[in-house]
């Protein structure tokens, strides 16, 4: 690990961003939201793109300190109904933002310092942790690692009169009240597997109390995949229809402009378990029987496209 980490420590500066945003007329900034924040992130593995949705929902006490609980979500509604997994918890301490992974809650290990929005240009912020992604872009393995940090290089003011920090390495930026533009937890350096693949990360949208604070998505809106099924690549969603949705028995998939061929259709439940697969041949219309599935939310995937479907 030490052999590879020399390179990834340098890359950590790409994935590390600290910013100081004073209160402005455009947004009243906190170091980090205290509730009702939701965002989605994209993970790129070579040319393939995957998306994850996160949100803050509820509080918890750990070692007599108040934290906000972070979940991965299956829908853009902040509700226990759409929780896909517990990630960990945030807390603010003046201008500092700390994070504690879910599996650290019973440990004596200190919290991870994600951001210090009170820091000055030239300061180094020490995270003392790394993310082992295992190629899935997730946050399920965050480990202590000494002397991993970021240096604040300069600041700018954006079009909303917000101050933005630019950091060492490849010049990643970060906003107070939101975090790094490559992912809210990715001020922590990411250690990638040595499997020959190329990895990339991007924050697509961040909403706090229904106010959009940041958008950098393919559809210029928040939550493209969950709202309108914007394609990642290859297939043109403008010509794909899936109906009826919701349904009790059967889904009909049509694509008249672009024949769907040589793709595998998958249906997964909200835990990611595959419940149905089918090879797609050269046809313009398919009928998929889902009457055997239990009522609930599922995700239908064709190549890199994902559509939310509801089984009544």
Six-digit token pair at 145? Answer: 């690692």
pLDDT digits (tens, 9 = 90+) for 112-136: 999 888 888 998 888 888 887 665 5
Contact 131, 188 (CB under 8 A): yes
The most confident of the ranges 20-24, 43-47, 60-64, 158-162 is: 60-64
Highest CATH level, class, for 237-311: mainly beta
The most confident of the ranges 46-55, 208-217, 241-250 is: 208-217
CA dist., res. 72 & res. 79, Å (int):
11
Rounded mean pLDDT of the chain?
Answer: 76
Place of tokens 């790394």: 130
Q: Would you report the helix, strand and coil content of the chain in percent, each value rounded to 5?
A: 10, 45, 45
What is the helix (H) or strand (E) element at residue 187, kind and residue range? none
Provide the 3-class DSSP secondary structure of residue 19: coil
- CATH 2.60.40.3080 residue spans of the chain: 237-311
Contact 252, 78 (CB under 8 A): no
User: Between residues 163 and 299, which one has the greater pLDDT?
Assistant: 299
The pTM score is 0.64
pLDDT of residue 229: 42
User: Between residues 137 and 26, which one has the greater pLDDT?
Assistant: 137
Contact 13, 170 (CB under 8 A): yes
Burial class, 311, CB count within 10 angstroms (exposed 0-12 / middle 13-18 / buried 19+): buried
pLDDT digits (tens, 9 = 90+) for 143-173: 888 878 888 888 777 776 667 777 775 457 8
CA dist., res. 136 & res. 133, Å (int):
6
């Amino acid at each position: 690990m030490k052999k590879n980490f020399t390179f990834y420590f340098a890359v950590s500066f790409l994935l590390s961003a600290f910013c100081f945003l004073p209160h402005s007329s455009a947004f009243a900034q906190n170091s980090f939201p205290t509730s009702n924040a939701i965002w989605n992130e994209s993970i790129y593995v070579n040319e393939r793109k995957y998306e994850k949705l996160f949100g803050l929902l509820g509080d918890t006490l750990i070692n007599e300190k108040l934290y906000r609980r972070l979940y991965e979500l299956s829908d853009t509604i902040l509700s226990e109904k759409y929780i896909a997994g517990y990630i960990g918890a945030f807390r603010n301490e003046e201008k500092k933002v700390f994070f504690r992974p879910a599996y650290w809650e019973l440990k004596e290990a200190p919290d991870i310092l994600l951001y210090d929005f009170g820091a000055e240009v030239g300061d180094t912020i020490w995270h003392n942790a790394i993310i082992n992604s295992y190629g899935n872009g997730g946050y399920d393995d965050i480990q202590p690692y000494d002397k991993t940090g970021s240096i604040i290089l300069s600041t700018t003011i954006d079009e909303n009169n917000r101050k933005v920090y630019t950091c060492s390495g490849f010049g990643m930026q970060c906003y107070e009240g939101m975090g790094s533009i490559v992912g809210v937890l990715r001020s922590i350096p990411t250690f990638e597997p040595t499997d020959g693949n190329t990895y990339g990360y991007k924050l697509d949208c961040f909403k706090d109390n229904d106010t959009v604070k940041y958008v950098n998505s393919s559809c210029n809106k928040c939550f493209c995949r969950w709202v309108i099924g914007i394609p990642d690549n290859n297939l043109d969603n403008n010509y794909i229809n899936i109906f009826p949705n919701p349904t009790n028995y059967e889904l009909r998939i049509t694509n008249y402009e672009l024949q769907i061929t040589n793709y595998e259709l998958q249906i997964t439940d909200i835990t990611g378990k595959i419940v149905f697969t089918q090879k797609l041949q050269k046809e313009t219309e398919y009928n998929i029987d889902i009457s055997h599935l239990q009522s609930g939310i599922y995700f239908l995937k064709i190549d890199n496209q994902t559509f939310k479907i509801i089984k009544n």
